[in-house]
Amino acid sequence: MPSRFRTGRRPFRGARAILSLWAMLLTLLLPGCGEAPLPEGVVATVNGRPIMLRTLEAVHDMSSMSWSGHAPSVEQLQAQYGGVLSDLIVQELVAQALARESIAVTDAEVAEAEAEVRGDYPAGEFEKSLVEEYIDLDLWRSRLRARIAMQKFMRLILRPTISIPLEEVEAHYAAHRQDYRLPRRVQFLVVAGPDKAAVDKARALSLGGAKPADVEAAQPSVTVREVKMRRDRLPALWSKELAGLAPRQASAVKQGEWGYQSFLLVGEIAEKQLELSHAYPLVERVLLERKMDEAYARWMDAELRTARIRVSAHLLPDTRDAGKDAASRGGNATGMPGMSDSQGHSGQGSQGGQALQPQDIPDAGEPLDGTAPDPEMDAPPPAEDGKGGRSAAANGTQRKTKAK
């Protein structure tokens, strides 16, 4: 999909706090007591606000663009549609929470986020990608708006409710000190550009000791990136080019997928334990993610207990034991249940609701194999194909990785 996100299955990086919303809804939804069916084309309402069938279908299509060569089973489709409807219900609850606080997502914010996405494409390619993948631009923008709304909800409503005392940071660091160490790494420069002669000149300047900024000023078409990485995480191409180099030596200029490039080895960085003063932002980020998860779970539980949510009869189980069935599946089923002629709703006073429980979450950053991320790294780790990683955008969406 041409955006850096599809349907935003998680509102932010650490939002793994809730169990399946659909499973939770099944514990709350009860057969309607003589209520009129929902209008044609409406699959659910949230406090009277409709969620349309066409939206459900379109968002499902947007989130299921990859084709494996096999038609999905009925069970897989049920799971997919149940997950999408859950997301749409959450997005509506979030939109209503923002409205209560008079917080709006402005057209200017949407336009700015869209411009950032379009910046990843050559002229005309953004629209072409939308057409190729049968995505309606207005629907895509509505999903972008929903993503921005979720980010504002997290930042302006949930975040102010959380505090992280210094004592808590110190206690976590003391208990997990081994997680905050920097492993042995290799430090090197990647000199790249579209013109071989310019890259050759930039390579020579770098070997002479010029700073990356000065090299780029002298050769504007060339970029010089300083990278610090573990050798065992280097892409194969990079590892091959760096092999055999001594400090202050550079590989020959060779043509790559993105022009010409050369690698200059700066040296090896010894393993180092981060003291609390340097590890503080990393520890704080871990604690913040966990507390945000917990706050999100509490908010969701409270919303589901008080909101009036009605779901189309065609999406509800055909017995009154739906809550029992969902609970028997461990509360983590994501599939949509069987067909029914009943109408369902949840509201204040509904029985069977259970508090959402936070799931285990990994530490923030990249503390893989018990190592902390490098706070000094100027560039993100490269992708496996050696092209180099790209950082997450300010609006939280992900850079495009288009599947064909």
- For residue 392, report the phi and psi dihedrals to the nearest 5 degrees: -65, 145
Cα–Cα distance for residue pair 238/54, rounded to 1 Å = 47
Do the domain assignments include residue 13? no
Do the domain assignments include residue 261? yes
Do the domain assignments include residue 203? yes
Do the domain assignments include residue 67? yes
Domain CATH for 88 = 1.10.4030.10
Do the domain assignments include residue 11? no
* Position with higher pLDDT, 348 vs 23: 23
In the prediction, which pLDDT does 274 show? 93
Per-residue pLDDT, averaged over 12-19, amounts to 39
Flag whether pLDDT at 49 surpasses 90: yes
Instruction: Identify whether residues 266 and 378 lie together within a single domain.
Output: yes
In the prediction, which pLDDT does 286 show? 95
Instruction: Answer whether 42's CB lies under 8 Å from 51's CB.
Output: yes
Instruction: Answer whether 132's CB lies under 8 Å from 78's CB.
Output: no
Do the domain assignments include residue 38? yes
What domain count does the chain have? 2
Instruction: Identify whether residues 393 and 256 lie together within a single domain.
Output: yes
Flag whether pLDDT at 158 surpasses 50: yes
Instruction: Identify whether residues 251 and 380 lie together within a single domain.
Output: yes
Instruction: Identify whether residues 26 and 130 lie together within a single domain.
Output: yes
Per-residue pLDDT, averaged over 315-326, amounts to 46
SS3 192: strand
Q: Quick one: which of 234, 172, 148 has its CA closest to 364?
A: 172
Q: How confident is the model at residue 68 (pLDDT cuts 50, 70, 90)?
A: low
Flag whether pLDDT at 319 surpasses 60: no
Per-residue pLDDT, averaged over 66-80, amounts to 68
For 397, the domain range is: 184-270+374-404
Per-residue pLDDT, averaged over 188-200, amounts to 95
Cα–Cα distance for residue pair 279/273, rounded to 1 Å = 9
In the prediction, which pLDDT does 71 show? 72
Instruction: Identify whether residues 69 and 34 lie together within a single domain.
Output: yes
In the prediction, which pLDDT does 355 show? 30
Per-residue pLDDT, averaged over 58-62, amounts to 86
Q: How far is CA 330 from the centre of its chain?
A: 26
Flag whether pLDDT at 400 surpasses 80: no
In the prediction, which pLDDT does 404 show? 33
In the prediction, which pLDDT does 363 show? 31
In the prediction, which pLDDT does 265 show? 96
Specify which of 293-297, 318-322, 342-346, 396-400 reaches the highest per-range mean pLDDT.
Answer: 293-297
* Position with higher pLDDT, 108 vs 342: 108
| Tokens, residue 275 | 């003291």
Instruction: Identify whether residues 246 and 321 lie together within a single domain.
Output: no
In the prediction, which pLDDT does 29 show? 53
pLDDT in tens, 208-233: 999 999 999 999 999 999 999 999 99
How many other β-carbons are positioned within 10 Å of the β-carbon of residue 346?
A: 24
Specify which of 150-154, 344-348, 383-387 reaches the highest per-range mean pLDDT.
Answer: 150-154
Cα–Cα distance for residue pair 300/97, rounded to 1 Å = 11
In the prediction, which pLDDT does 148 show? 96
In the prediction, which pLDDT does 317 show? 52
Instruction: Identify whether residues 297 and 378 lie together within a single domain.
Output: no
Domain CATH for 224 = 3.10.50
Do the domain assignments include residue 346? yes
| Tokens, residue 117 | 């996405």
Average pLDDT value for the chain: 75
Instruction: Identify whether residues 55 and 134 lie together within a single domain.
Output: yes
Instruction: Answer whether 350's CB lies under 8 Å from 305's CB.
Output: yes
Instruction: Identify whether residues 50 and 154 lie together within a single domain.
Output: yes
In the prediction, which pLDDT does 164 show? 96
Instruction: Identify whether residues 34 and 141 lie together within a single domain.
Output: yes
Per-residue pLDDT, averaged over 106-128, amounts to 92
Do the domain assignments include residue 172? no
Instruction: Identify whether residues 36 and 101 lie together within a single domain.
Output: yes
Flag whether pLDDT at 169 surpasses 90: yes
Report the Cα–Cα distance between both ends of the chain, in Å, rounded.
Answer: 10
Instruction: Identify whether residues 69 and 143 lie together within a single domain.
Output: yes
